[in-house]
Amino acid sequence: MTTTEFEAVPEVAADAVARGRDLIVMKFGGSSVADTDKIKGVARRLVAAREAGNRVVGVLSAMGDTTDELIRLAHEISDRPQPREYDMLLSVGERISNALCAMAITDLGYEAISFTGSQAGIVTDTVHGKAKIAEVRAARINEALDQERIVLVAGFQGVSADSHDVTTLGRGGSDTTAVALAAALGAQACEIYTDVEGVFTADPRIVPNARRLAAVTYEEMLELAASGAKVLQLRSVEFARNHDVRLHVRSTFSQAEGTWIVDEEDEVLEKAIISGVAHTAVEPLYRVREIDAATLFQRLADANVNVDTILQVSTDEIVFSAPAEDADACEDVLGQLGVEWSMREDLGKVSLVGAGMKSHPGIAAKTFATLEGIGVESKVISTSPIKIACHVRTEEVPRAVAALHDAFELEVA
């Protein structure tokens, strides 16, 4: 049996790498499986990979906006749906798409079997709606692969080791299912099929001449995903980095190469100074008075809030930002702490990301000069060794993205 303890041992099981050499994990997003014709198309693509000599594990998201629809139903019933039942409900979407795909593969003359996350051995903690994968017990998948089957795994879900209840992994969680399986099975690569051709230098809807990147590092992709690039769930990139899974983000609707996400040593990298400009239209900013940082951030962490920018403005004032989807949790925590606080929702964030920043001075200066040149004021600035992020007014976000893309000539390879 292949058991991989992800938190404890960051290695894959000893026999997994040898077994996985001809194995490929292929994940398809919701828009790639939006109707039954598209599911048949995905079935053909999985079969083609099989015919090319691979053993194949497919991970499908729920069809189209099924998950949104299920969430809508839950909120129609209840203001605060009970977390266990919420996960029972949401996990259904992926069962539908994966079962349908297994039927389509069978009709193409190949054997297939679909599994729920639980059946596939995806074991998680018990944080409903945001569960973390703790372990993958891949015995059942390996057995099915040994029987020459194409294996389909319902993404975005697992089972809690403690409560034995169904859990979900957070929005976009099928990416993490796919990466976790690739790691546990020692797959040669994890392919993420989506409705865009890869990772771009900026959102092409804002910057029409944005360019597809051939490759980026895990670090850059982590910053891009954390800064609003929606193509991959943040946690899946972390997982891929921690377990050395090469990721390939590419289009479901073409055969073209997409974007590889690899480590810094990988030969596919082009070593650009700046890789891209990511943005979030709205990223709430909180201002809290008279609390110590340790208490505040511990409480936010306990509530599973992903805090981003943090500024200690003065001894009695802290400013931080957190994603819009964590707003309810933030408000709860701040309310319970009984402190004086305020929140701004009229700001978004523009982030310039590139591994080359580490060794090239002047990037920050040019960023600020560019924003100043178009009359955009940054309200809060935060940096990492490979990122400069500016909170600007939401309505100025598109202009700021376009200006930075232009100033750093990101359209040119």
Contacted entry of ligand ASP, Mg ion, none for residue 62, CB cut-off 5 to 8 Å set by kind: ligand ASP
Nearer to Mg ion, 200 or 286 (CB): 200
Nearer to Mg ion, 121 or 172 (CB): 172
- Using an 8 Å Cβ cutoff, are 177 and 98 in contact? no
- Given the DSSP bridges, would you call strands 387-393 and 380-384 parallel, antiparallel or unpaired? antiparallel
- Give the C-alpha separation, 118 to 50, whole Å: 25
Residue 26 backbone phi and psi in degrees, to 5: -120, 115
- Give the C-alpha separation, 133 to 143, whole Å: 21
Nearer to ligand ASP, 171 or 299 (CB): 171
Contacted entry of Mg ion, ligand ASP, none for residue 348, CB cut-off 5 to 8 Å set by kind: none
- Using an 8 Å Cβ cutoff, are 179 and 190 in contact? yes
Contacted entry of Mg ion, ligand ASP, none for residue 173, CB cut-off 5 to 8 Å set by kind: ligand ASP
Contacted entry of ligand ASP, Mg ion, none for residue 367, CB cut-off 5 to 8 Å set by kind: none
Tokens 């891209």 -> residue: 276
Nearest residue to 219 via CA among 36, 386, 52, 404:
386
Q: How far is the CB of 83 from ligand ASP (least distance, A)?
A: 16
- Given the DSSP bridges, would you call strands 215-217 and 259-262 parallel, antiparallel or unpaired? parallel
Structure token pair of residue 158: 């697992």
Nearer to Mg ion, 232 or 277 (CB): 232
Nearer to Mg ion, 151 or 229 (CB): 229
Nearer to ligand ASP, 28 or 320 (CB): 28
Cβ neighbour number for residue 108 with a 10 Å cutoff = 15
Contacted entry of ligand ASP, Mg ion, none for residue 93, CB cut-off 5 to 8 Å set by kind: ligand ASP
- Give the C-alpha separation, 122 to 74, whole Å: 25
Angle between helices 83-90 and 92-107 (to 10 degrees): 20
Q: Which one of 93, 172, 186, 258 is in contact with Mg ion (CB under 5 A)?
A: 172
Query: Contact positions toward ligand ASP, by CB under 6 A?
Result: 29-30, 61-62, 67, 93, 155-156, 171-175
Contacted entry of ligand ASP, Mg ion, none for residue 121, CB cut-off 5 to 8 Å set by kind: none
- Given the DSSP bridges, would you call strands 112-115 and 166-168 parallel, antiparallel or unpaired? unpaired
Nearer to ligand ASP, 88 or 311 (CB): 88
Q: Let me know the angle formed at the C-alpha of 228 by 410 and 173, rounded to the nearest 5 degrees.
A: 125
Q: How far is the CB of 122 from ligand ASP (least distance, A)?
A: 13
- Give the C-alpha separation, 233 to 228, whole Å: 10
User: Which residues does 229 contact at the CB level (< 8 Å), separation at least 6?
Assistant: 199, 221, 276, 278
Q: Which residues inside 103-132 make contact with Mg ion, applying CB under 5 A?
A: none
Q: How far is the CB of 173 from Mg ion (least distance, A)?
A: 9
Q: How far is the CB of 403 from ligand ASP (least distance, A)?
A: 32
- Residue window 19-58: x/- pattern of binding to Mg ion, with contact defined by CB under 5 A: ----------x-----------------------------
Q: How far is the CB of 134 from ligand ASP (least distance, A)?
A: 19
Q: How far is the CB of 118 from ligand ASP (least distance, A)?
A: 16
Which positions touch Mg ion (CB under 5 A)? Answer: 29, 172
